[in-house]
Amino acid sequence: MTKEIVVSGIRPTGNLHLGNYLGAISNFVKMQHDYTCYFFIADYHSLTTHPNPTDIHNHVKQALVEYLACGLNPELCTLYVQSDLPQIPELYMMLNMHAYKGELERVASFKEKARTQPDNINAGLLTYPVLMAADILIHKATKVPVGKDQEQHLEMARTFGNRFNRIYQKEIFPEPYAFNYGSELVKIPGLQGGGKMSKSDGDASVIKLNDSADQIRKKITKAVTDNTPLEPNTPPSVAVQNLLDLMKVVSEKEKLMHFTAAYANCNIRYGDLKKELAEDMIAFLAPIREKIIEFQSDEKLLSHIVKLGKEKAHESADKTLMECREAIGFKKF
């Protein structure tokens, strides 16, 4: 039986944190075993904000290193750098001919960007969903692991694929849909009493995958808590519940039960809770951090991995593009 095809793009936007790892990347790692997976670093997409040449390379390398350290395995999936595939801009150009200004202007992410960066509303920004559709359609993917915020882009990928099929009277592209294992993913909260762990809440709120043991200790020590409750069985404040939720992920069950009971009995000591949580967090992340350091210094291995990914991705992309060229009527002389 041929496996279904999964495609997902990784934005090269600096260091990953625990929330990214447990929320998204660990999903990718599982999918490698069950599907034919293509994962790529979306560097063409990052051009919309005009990054400088040194930054772009460093960011791509960092993303690659961190995803490898989390367990993406180039033997099990195809892991490549988007700009290694000129087939993607070619398909993007073809799809652009049937993508209309009106529909593109109505996309929520475009409207948002147009509002926040009014002096850089370029054509690439407007056609971002077309490029994303090309990323997905080039491998004929049906499953796309992305968050809620990408649903509209996926709907457009279906629209553009179906439109191409209809116009050229060929069943080239299947319909891609959002996909994640288990809809209820573990919620990873931040350290400052807010909601889910997110870079936008500032550095103190997130635990980055490459934070040192000391940095982790400092951040957890400074995490927001509340006053020890006076009434037995008071429900924990959001901030304290967040720490208990983190403990659920990285610590032994008994430890979590101990601190939960201590809270209920009004004799919890936050200093102890934080100390235990910090040491367990450090142990939990140590293998990833070690691998980050290993991959970072192995340029030869990285270049081998990128080359391998490029070759595998080219094979699949060339096949699709040939079909598109033929459907359009481009013929060899």
Which stretches of the chain bind ligand TRP, using CB under 6 A? 7-9, 11, 42, 45, 132, 135-136, 144, 146, 150, 153
Nearer to ligand TRP, 45 or 208 (CB): 45
Q: Are strands 36-41 and 143-144 parallel, antiparallel or unpaired?
A: unpaired
Q: Are the C-beta atoms of residues 324 and 97 closer than 8 Å to each other?
A: no
Nearer to ligand TRP, 7 or 268 (CB): 7
Q: How far is the CB of 49 from ligand TRP (least distance, A)?
A: 12
Using the minimum distance from each CB to ligand TRP, give the nearer residue, 130 or 273.
130
Contact between 210 and 66 under an 8 Å Cβ cutoff? The reply is yes
| Run of H or E residues at 271 | helix 270-296
Residue whose CB is nearest to ligand TRP in the complex, by number: 9
Pick the closer one to ligand TRP by CB: 179 or 270.
179
CB burial string 42-57: b at 16+ within 10 A, e below: bbbbbebeeeeeeebe
Collapsing DSSP states into helix, strand and coil, what is residue 36? strand
Our CB check for ligand TRP shows the closer of 66 and 135 to be 135
* Shorter beta-carbon distance to ligand TRP: residue 136 or 239: 136
Residues 31, 67: contact at Cβ < 8 Å? no
Q: Please provide the DSSP assignment of 123-183 as one string.
A: HHHHTHHHHHHHHHHTTT-SEE---GGGHHHHHHHHHHHHHHHHHHT----PPPEE--SSS
Please state the closest distance from residue 176 (CB atom) to ligand TRP, in A. Answer: 8
Q: How far is CA 29 from CA 78, 86, 145, 146, 304, in A?
A: 12, 27, 11, 14, 20
Both tokens of residue 188? 């990873």
Q: DSSP letter string over 206-217?
A: --BTT--HHHHH
Q: Which residue has the tokens 């990054």?
A: 51
Number of neighbours of residue 287 by Cβ within 10 angstroms: 12
Q: Which residues are catalytic?
A: 113, 196, 199
